[in-house]
A and B are shown apart, each in its own frame.
Chain A
Amino acid sequence: MVRRIHIAIVEPSVIIRNGIVSVLKRLNLDIDIVEISDMPQLQSLLEKHNPDVVIIDPTQIGMISLQHIKENLSGSKKFIALQSNLADASALKGYDEFISLYDSAEQIKAKVESIISENKQDDSDKQELSQREKEIVSCIVKGLTNKQIAEVLHLSVHTVMTHRRNISGKLQIHSSAGLAIYAIVNKLVSLDEIKGLKNI
């Protein structure tokens, strides 16, 4: 399932933290933001929130190395260094991207977008449905099971499931009742065809 990218902003200063949050929010990116201000709890909070991207000032990490933080986290995460002042090159090792306090909104957007797009599995979301996908939607709202859809359309069950995942991703509709509304207003099925069916 396509999910929104979670970005953790690690920054004890409320002024800087709120500044980054407000810039990121105005960039219109498809992201969720979690704020972490409590440096001693950094490790446990990162484990708890499990963000995809972490924005952190390298000079704030202090004695703990980035390498150490990474080793204790599951999955691959991207780290963006927030540079508020000059830091030794060795402190910047291991970061995937660098944002300066003096970057413009456009520069920040470009940097965050490039990091996010590496994280996304595919770019198929937010597009129109293909003809095949529309056929599958109409089968789903008529109440057919994956197996039945596979038989009707001569596909494998696995392919049907992949299509369903892509449909959810493109439309951001995750329930069959929601798909039914989509199918009716887009005239993929008529009301009679789905009337009397349960589960819709």
Chain B
Amino acid sequence: MYKIGQYKATDLMSDLICKNYPMLLVMSRFGIALGFGEDTIDTACRKNNVDTGTFLSVVNLLIGEEIGYRAETLPNISIPSLVEYLRNSHSYFLDFRLPSIKHSLINALSDIENDANSIILKYFDEYYEEVKRHMNYEEANVFPYVEALLSGESVRSDYRIDIFSKQHDHVEEKLSELKNIIIKYYSANNNKLNCVLFDIFSCSEDLASHNKVEDMLFVPTITQIEIQKEK
């Protein structure tokens, strides 16, 4: 049974992406390339060895009416697929998106004379380090824990996924703070700077989506596995 507004396996991939362009990023993080022609979501996923159910769960969580999953309604997903998605997502922010924003920021500020420029860049660098610390923690602790849990290896008895969800602070907030400071107090009328602000707005939303997938799909799914194991 499908709810209104949810995408299903037989819908065209091109419909999904053209009507919801942020899903371009989701697709790319699952490793699905452009050029899918008239393929359905299912066909495009299969061609790229992606678990269709996992792909749809992420897509419908991010665009649909879905308010969040609870234990009984958690979709059946492939955790290795989701972990792969989260890893790619981290690498996207750290290796591409944030460096690209920094590059445009340097470029925009170099046109404007203002004492605050160096401090703004410093703020951004610190922010980048914070995001990196946060994501590296997941790579070094959370994902290996989940992989061990799945393979049936003995896991640290003192660790549970909800420890991670408690530590999981919302990294997009500090980026929004920078954006707000520039908008409210930095006096400039510069096209390049406006472009950077657009980038920061969309990157904040993207980070919030990333957190939503972790908080509402990844963590609850792992919690269920922990509960079943303890039985």
Contact = CB atoms under 8 A, between A and B. Distances in A.
B177 A178 contact: yes
Contacts of A172: 177, 180
Given A38-B70, A186-B185, A177 B123 contact: yes
Contacts of B120: 181
Nearest to B185: A185
A185 B70 contact: no
Given A37-B67, A200-B119, A177 B187 contact: no
A77 interface: no
B180 A35 contact: no
B177 A175 contact: yes
Given A35-B67, A177-B123, A185 B177 contact: no
B123 A181 contact: yes
Contact of B115 (A37, A173, A178, A191): A191
Contacts of B180: 172-173
A173 B177 contact: yes
B185 A182 contact: yes
Given A14-B65, A35-B67, A172-B180, A181 B174 contact: no
Contacts of B114: 184-185
Interface in A160-199: 172-175, 177-178, 180-182, 184-186, 190-191, 194
B106 to A, nearest CB: 16
A84 B218 CA distance: 37
B32 to A, nearest CB: 30
A4 to B, nearest CB: 11
Contacts of A177: 119, 122-123, 126
A41 B185 CA distance: 45
Given A41-B70, A178-B123, A173 B181 contact: yes
Contact of A181 (B4, B65, B181): B181
Interface residues of B, number: 21
Interface in A36-52: 36-38, 41
A183 to B, nearest CB: 9
B9 interface: no
Given A35-B67, A38-B70, A185-B187, A180 B177 contact: no
Tier of interface size on chain A: 20 to 34
Contacts of B187: 185
Nearest to A41: B70
Contacts of B119: 177, 180-181, 184, 191, 194, 200
Contacts of A178: 123, 177-178, 181
Contacts of B122: 177, 200
B186 interface: yes
A194 B126 CA distance: 16
A1 to B, nearest CB: 13
A184 B116 contact: yes
B118 interface: yes
Interface in A87-142: none
A174 B187 CA distance: 21
Interface string B177-201: 1101100011100000000000000
Interface of B: 4, 65, 67, 70, 114-116, 118-120, 122-123, 126, 174, 177-178, 180-181, 185-187
Chain A to chain B: the 5 pairs with minimum beta-carbon distance, closest first: A184-B116, A177-B123, A191-B115, A185-B185, A185-B116
28 contacts: A14-B65, A18-B65, A36-B67, A37-B67, A41-B70, A172-B177, A172-B180, A173-B181, A174-B177, A175-B177, A177-B122, A177-B123, A177-B126, A178-B178, A180-B123, A181-B119, A181-B120, A181-B123, A181-B178, A181-B181, A181-B185, A182-B185, A184-B115, A185-B187, A190-B115, A191-B115, A191-B119, A200-B122
